[in-house]
Amino acid sequence: MAAMAAAGTLACSASELVARGRESAAVLQAMLGQLQPAAGAGAAPHGLRDLAEQILRCCDRALAALLSDHTETEEEDTSRKRKPVSERGGPADVPPAAMMRSSKRMRLSRRERGTRVEKKGTMEDGFIWRKYGQKDIHGSNYPRLYFRCTYKDDHGCMARRQVQQSDADPSVYLITYFHEHTCCRDGAVEPPPAPFVINFGSKNGSGGSPSWPPSCDDDDCMVSPETTKLALCNSPEGDEELRAGTADEEDAEFTVKQQSTPVHELMGILGSPEWDAMAAGCLDWELGYDEMSSFDVDGFFRYDIDYLGLL
DNA sequence: CGGATTTGACCATA
DNA sequence: TATGGTCAAATCCG
Q: What single DSSP character describes residue A130?
A: E
What span, in angstroms and rounded, lies between the C-alpha atoms of A57 and A113? Answer: 22
CB A307 within 8 A of CB A274: yes
- Mean pLDDT by groups of 10 residues along chain A of 311 residues: 40 56 66 53 55 64 53 34 33 37 49 71 79 88 89 78 86 84 55 34 32 35 34 38 45 32 41 42 35 36 36 32
Max CA distance (Å), chain A? 77
What span, in angstroms and rounded, lies between the C-alpha atoms of A267 and A15? Answer: 29
Q: Is the CB of A131 under 7 A from strand B?
A: yes
Supply the pLDDT for residue A145.
Answer: 92
Q: Is the CB of A224 under 7 A from strand B?
A: no
Angle (CA) A273 A277 A279, round 5° = 115
What span, in angstroms and rounded, lies between the C-alpha atoms of A192 and A224? Answer: 15
| Nucleotide with smallest C1' distance to residue A162 CA | C5
Q: A297-308 vs A2-35: helix axis angle to the nearest 10?
A: 30
Supply the pLDDT for residue A34.
Answer: 59
Amino acid symbol at A103:
S
- The protein residue nearest nucleotide C3, judged by CA to C1', is A138
Q: Where are the domains of chain A?
A: 2-78+111-308
What span, in angstroms and rounded, lies between the C-alpha atoms of A79 and A30? Answer: 43
Supply the pLDDT for residue A179.
Answer: 78
| Nucleotide with smallest C1' distance to residue A131 CA | B5
List the A87 CA – C10 C1' distance (angstroms).
33
Supply the pLDDT for residue A128.
Answer: 85
List the A273 CA – B12 C1' distance (angstroms).
56
- The protein residue nearest nucleotide B11, judged by CA to C1', is A102
